[in-house]
Structure 1
Amino acid sequence: MEKIKIGVDYYPERWGEAMWESDAVRMKEAGIKVIRMAEFAWCKMEPEEGRFELDWLVKAVNLFGSYGIQTILCTPTNCAPLWLYEKYPEILQVQRDGKRTYPGVRSHRCYNSPIYRLFVERIIRKMSRVFAGNPYVAAWQIDNEVDAAFCCCDVCAEKFRGWLKEKYGTLDEINRVFGNEVWSGSYSSWTQIQPPLGDRSLVQYNPAYLLDFQRFASDGVVEYVRFQANLLRETFPDLPITTNTWYCDYMPDFYDLFEELDICSYDNYPSFEISEEGYSSHAFHLDMMRGVKRRNFWIMEQLGGAIGGCWMPMGKTPRPGVLKGMALQAIAHGADQVLHFRWRSSTTGAEMYWHGILDQNNIPGRKYRELQDLCRTIEKQKGLEETTILSKVAILCSFDSEYAWKLQTQAEGFYYLEQLQALHAAFTGYGLNVDIIHEEAPLDEYEIVAAPAVYVRNRKTARQLHKFVEKGGMVILTARSGVKDENNNCIMEAMPAGYREMTGCQVEEYDGIGHETNTVIMDGIAYPVTQWCEILQVDRAETIAVYGGEFYAGAPAVTRNRYGAGSVYYIGTVGKPSFYEALAKKMLEEKKMRFTTELPARVEMTVRENDEKQFVFLFNNDKKEKRFVLEGTTIELQPFEMKIQEKIKIK
């Protein structure tokens, strides 16, 4: 296993050759081991159709390599040159209003365009020939932050029809599955099936149709990335290939996206403005990235300075300790490479105020010294590169549920991913590692599995959860579970459909209260709840908490049921952090699992380990100093400080 590496994103095309060597010297002095280059450099590589100029990029890769700095090369396909759009305007995405995207912004190509694919293949093959055998190329990144936004061009429309034909076979079957009799929406010809064009809200479309179009859009991105990966593997069969992702409005299914790639990569811009309530820690996002392939991951873009000035107003500059602490937080959760965006703030372009390690003045300052300190800290942790994270708690994630939930808002302020975050924060608050995994992933290595808001029922998931609890595991289900079938249609059964036998309860009625509040009473303590309240009818289950207000005061809100050798908790509402903390403690005590109650609020503990050692990371994810006692030792942490304790495992 390679050493954990700290790096930066670098844009040699913007700075000119005269600056490269001085940058390489400074990077080496800081301890930088890897840089990422070329994701937006297509117009520099191919300034005119068929005229390639890659000597400058080869020179840059070799120069930095001579200073011991490896390069992750990117395919530059996020932003095609303007000559390509001018000559072939049909490769531009078509928006829902039927108009093509104006080519003056980035990420505006249609993934499915056959013409675009030809030019993508050509630039990748050219780069492959030029860099074949180059010892300084460490890995490849495909494109940049691919999303699954709805392109409504003719190519996508025809491809969507083909996708539906392969899935359903006939129009009669599509009409049946979609329930197209509603609003007289039945198809009598394949040409009537179109992308969701028009200026009306998406919620006025058939939900079954919309979920399939979102799946189709995600599948198209996955296939586009696989297309590029296959081209690269022809020349670089032994180099890692990845792409970088983030939590955008139209996320592709991360589990599908990275299935055939070598490693999962993420762009991490954690907030250091920590709210008193809610879930502002990026630990959830990091654990989800690790769970995508169920192994360690990379950060391709990490907070490097004040952000904004383009996508949003410019934010505060990171306070002392933030850059180092947030990078170590990522490593604590399984990142084996952390590349900061970016080496130097740009003097031109829309993102000139998305700051890097060096500001536009090009003078090394506090951020540079903090990066240098980070590199030294990692160098001191001998053996850390051979460690991973082992968890006994898992949270299941369903992109079908995420998509369907966004397409039909359940209540004001009620979001799918926040249901996962709430339970993640509760268990990690007791010092446990937590995996966030695909809903169909194997469960044998866990003791507690939470399946929050399994809104779109997946039959394989349901079978696995039943078997898991029968064998002695603990399962947690929450409000809005078993609501929809696989086609995004409501199931004509009492909820949670497919899970009632194991929960020992059913939903009698529900109340979408949005931003209003109610209370639940649990162990004599009143906890505020909001967004959603399900009035539960108990069949065999034990009532754990009841509602304190509204017409359903006294009705069950949380239940527990013995099923086989295990137990199932059903949470019928949405609480604040203190509510989930109390529930998590109850569950951990029932399972007799080891945990700590000594961590102050917003102090995070994560463990990376191998057969011989444990590295315990203690991170103060707060603006306030923390002092506490952990296992008899007094710990003091400055704001955003990380302390790493190395322990020998007792066998």
Structure 2
Amino acid sequence: MSRLELGVCYYPEQWDKSQWRDDAKRMVDMGLDWVRIAEFTWGLIEPERGRFEWGWLDEVIGILGDAGLRVMMSTPTAAPPKWLVDDCPEILPVGPDGRVRGFGSRRHYCFSSDIYLTEARRITTEYARRYGENPFVRAWQIDNEYNDHDTVLSYSNAARTGFRRWLQDRYGTIEALNRTWGTVFWGSLYSDFDQIELPISLVASPNPTHALDFARYSSDRVRDFNRAQADILRRFAPGRDITHNFMAGSFEFDHHAVAADLDVVGFDSYPLGNLLGSSLSDEDKRRYLRTGAPDYQGFHCDLYRSQGRGRMWVLEQQPGPVDWAEKNPSPADGMVRLWTWAAFAHGAQAVMFFRWRQAKFAQEQFHTALLRSDGSPDQAALELAQVAKERAALPEVTRQKAAVAILLDYESIWAADILPHDDAFPNAGIFRVWYAGLRALGVDLDFVGPDDDLTGYSLIVLPQNMIISPDLAKRLHHSQAKLLIGARAGSKTVDMWTPENLAPGELADLAGIKVIRVESLPDLAGESVSLESTGTFDFKGWREVIETENQVIAHFVSAYRAGSPAIVQSDRAMYLAMIPNGPLLRAILIKALTWAGLPIRECGPDLRVTQRGDLGFGFNFGAAAQVLPDDENRQYIVGTSEIPSYGVSVWKWK
């Protein structure tokens, strides 16, 4: 699909059946195309083992389909029923404190439980057999928000048993594990795989390779759980799209790997819900309190579009105040419309709003929806109506491949959390900051993983890629792209060892440098970088001492080794020996884009522009009007060259 499709998350089981038919009619009248249902219905459909009550769900699907809506059915495995927990309490997850996490909420299962995997396959098969070829059920969502409530890492007995099996498959012999983990350090050798425990409740930090392997194992269990259900759906629901709703801001498992088994990659977008807990300054949080950070949604749209090989849906779009953050402000009027069009501009094929009607009981009573609990339309419904009207004027277009890619590797993020060297090391936050810096310069972006095709890009950016395999280094070399390489890149092997040639390890030839020392500095250190022909800029935190015979384009201004290289440029790469932010990052990005021969479109803090096919989009996240640098070749379809506060403009070129 290349036109914007609209949908809503619906919980008919929470409302009297007398409302269902009217709900369906109102959805169609609002311009909705899709309805997502049933992700928490296992206990309703199977109230006791082997006894199924399908009647009400059959009726709902019929009502929705007869009204002209397409149904996205969900597998209900995110909330196993109480009878199953009572029969098999070992399926429950265990937190890092060693305590079992109990029934009464959701996500109360352990990915390592083979018992639960068998039960998940069983109930998925039942749902798929019943609705797989139903003409109204046109897509499937597997489970719901892997890692919500921090549930990827479980420290259960099942996890310990599964981890030991995984290690034996990986290493073959305990001697190989001891060598790879370096257990001679602190005399922590093992003589059998059954001696290995999970990396928690230790006196000091765990062996870093041990901890990284447990993160890898846990990620593999998510992939296997997702794949098991996807295989069942492909068998019983041929021709239907299969998706999962990833959580924005989650890096605890490898989304690249899980996405490979999906037809469409979905995610849940809550720009305000995630604002106050972000690393933005208080000034920026105040500035964007009612809009969300300008690049929050774009980051995740571009990430999941890339992982979906061009196919991405927003499966939950924030409609108003949420209920789960520390504080829950209302979005400015117009922002739900802006977020919807921004998602489309960044490649979304569909946007679904969470939810249809605000709950009047249980945990989410304060979470707003398209309708209030009494059925009256809330602000989001008014903005949805505007979007539905505007989309009729837009031609069908697809998002094109970008000239710039960001390389995001989940294992490098886990590795830096395990071995930070700096308690304030920004880690995953570096990706967001660099992405925002590039978007503020008008750059459209793709994301790539370490196993993806890297050809065809003019510039590949490596903000934090601590682990670089020989294969990845080889493919970066053959990509012919210019490389902007952040500090710590290649500083660890896949086994979490320091490379034989020191950092940046496999990237040494491309970068033309050797890191001989690293340090992390407190804010009071007052360090600066002098960038040639540009100026002197402050930075804080991470700093490296490097040797090079290549061109040095920036030097450290410091009481310690003043004048040592801060940025080195070879024929293919710029390497940064520090973590830049603010004006320094902006200056570096401009230099890298210019070096790669790419255009720069200055946007300022509140304006964002992007392109989808032959359409251009402008979005104003600010309280004051923003004026686009207009030209005579633009023909505006929505709005004008002056974008009002929280407004949108769309144009095509004549």
Q: TM-score, normalised by structure 1?
A: 0.92
Q: What is the letter of the counterpart of residue 519 of structure 2?
A: D
Deviations 1:552-605 (A, max 9, x none): 33222111112xxxx2101111222322222222222233323323x2323111
Give the equivalent residue in structure 2 for 1:510. 518
**Matches of 2:499 and 2:596, distance apart in 1:** 33
Give the equivalent residue in structure 2 for 1:221. 222
Distance 1:296 1:26, change over 3 A: same
The aligned runs of 1:416-427 (5 Å cut-off) are 416-427=427-438
The partner residue of 1:582 within 575, 581, 587 is 587
Distance 1:577 1:436, change over 3 A: farther
How many residue pairs match? The answer is 629
| 2:630 pairs with 1:637 | no
Q: What is the letter of the counterpart of residue 446 of structure 2?
A: D
| 2:332 pairs with 1:319 | yes
**How big is the shift at 1:298?**
0.8
The partner residue of 2:367 within 319, 334, 354 is 354
| 2:560 pairs with 1:558 | no
Residue 264 of structure 2 contacts residue 308 of structure 2 at CA under 8 Å; is this kept in 1? Answer: yes
**How big is the shift at 1:527?**
1.6
Q: What is the letter of the counterpart of residue 43 of structure 1?
A: G
Residue 530 of structure 2 contacts residue 536 of structure 2 at CA under 8 Å; is this kept in 1? Answer: yes
Give the equivalent residue in structure 1 for 2:152. 149
**Matches of 2:591 and 2:605, distance apart in 1:** 19
Give the equivalent residue in structure 2 for 1:459. 470
The partner residue of 2:347 within 326, 331, 334 is 334
Moved more, 342-351 or 218-227: 342-351
The partner residue of 1:604 within 605, 608, 614 is 608
Give the equivalent residue in structure 2 for 1:548. 557
Q: What is the letter of the counterpart of residue 238 of structure 2?
A: P
Give the equivalent residue in structure 2 for 1:468. 479
**Matches of 1:29 and 1:116, distance apart in 2:** 41
Task: Tell me the SS of whatever aligns to 2:474.
Answer: helix
Deviations 1:3-55 (A, max 9, x none): 42111111011112111122112211211110110111111111122111111
Percent sequence identity is: 28
Moved more, 137-146 or 491-500: 491-500
Task: Tell me the SS of whatever aligns to 1:130.
Answer: helix
Task: Tell me the SS of whatever aligns to 2:56.
Answer: helix
Task: Tell me the SS of whatever aligns to 1:453.
Answer: coil
Task: Tell me the SS of whatever aligns to 2:641.
Answer: strand
The partner residue of 2:454 within 443, 454, 478 is 443
Distance 1:589 1:314, change over 3 A: closer
Q: What is the letter of the counterpart of residue 235 of structure 1?
A: F
Deviations 1:277-307 (A, max 9, x none): 5976212222111121331301111111101
Give the equivalent residue in structure 2 for 1:261. 262
**How big is the shift at 1:89?**
0.9
Distance 1:55 1:467, change over 3 A: same
**How big is the shift at 1:2?**
6.1
Moved more, 28-37 or 266-275: 266-275
Residue 314 of structure 1 contacts residue 353 of structure 1 at CA under 8 Å; is this kept in 2? Answer: no
Q: What is the letter of the counterpart of residue 306 of structure 2?
A: G
Give the equivalent residue in structure 2 for 1:480. 488
Residue 414 of structure 1 contacts residue 514 of structure 1 at CA under 8 Å; is this kept in 2? Answer: no
Q: What is the letter of the counterpart of residue 260 of structure 1?
A: D
**How big is the shift at 1:498?**
1.9
Give the equivalent residue in structure 2 for 1:91. 91
**Matches of 1:13 and 1:550, distance apart in 2:** 67
Give the equivalent residue in structure 2 for 1:78. 78
The partner residue of 1:183 within 182, 186, 209 is 186
**How big is the shift at 1:314?**
4.1
Q: What is the letter of the counterpart of residue 64 of structure 1?
A: L
Give the equivalent residue in structure 2 for 1:270. 271
Q: What is the letter of the counterpart of residue 297 of structure 1?
A: M
Give the equivalent residue in structure 1 for 2:548. 538
| 2:408 pairs with 1:391 | no
| 2:295 pairs with 1:281 | yes
Moved more, 62-71 or 359-368: 359-368
Residue 112 of structure 1 contacts residue 155 of structure 1 at CA under 8 Å; is this kept in 2? Answer: yes
Residue 248 of structure 2 contacts residue 269 of structure 2 at CA under 8 Å; is this kept in 1? Answer: no
Distance 1:305 1:48, change over 3 A: same
Give the equivalent residue in structure 1 for 2:576. 571
Distance 1:92 1:518, change over 3 A: same
Distance 1:628 1:643, change over 3 A: closer
Deviations 1:333-368 (A, max 9, x none): 111011111111111112221221222232113221
Moved more, 283-292 or 579-588: 579-588
**How big is the shift at 1:104?**
2.0
Residue 93 of structure 2 contacts residue 110 of structure 2 at CA under 8 Å; is this kept in 1? Answer: yes
* Unaligned runs of at least 5 residues, structure 2: 286-292, 635-639
**How big is the shift at 1:105?**
2.4
**How big is the shift at 1:382?**
2.4
Give the equivalent residue in structure 1 for 2:241. 240
**How big is the shift at 1:315?**
0.8
**How big is the shift at 1:390?**
2.0
Task: Tell me the SS of whatever aligns to 1:129.
Answer: helix
The partner residue of 1:374 within 382, 387, 397 is 387
**Matches of 1:47 and 1:491, distance apart in 2:** 56
* Unaligned runs of at least 5 residues, structure 1: none
Distance 1:571 1:46, change over 3 A: same
**How big is the shift at 1:157?**
1.7
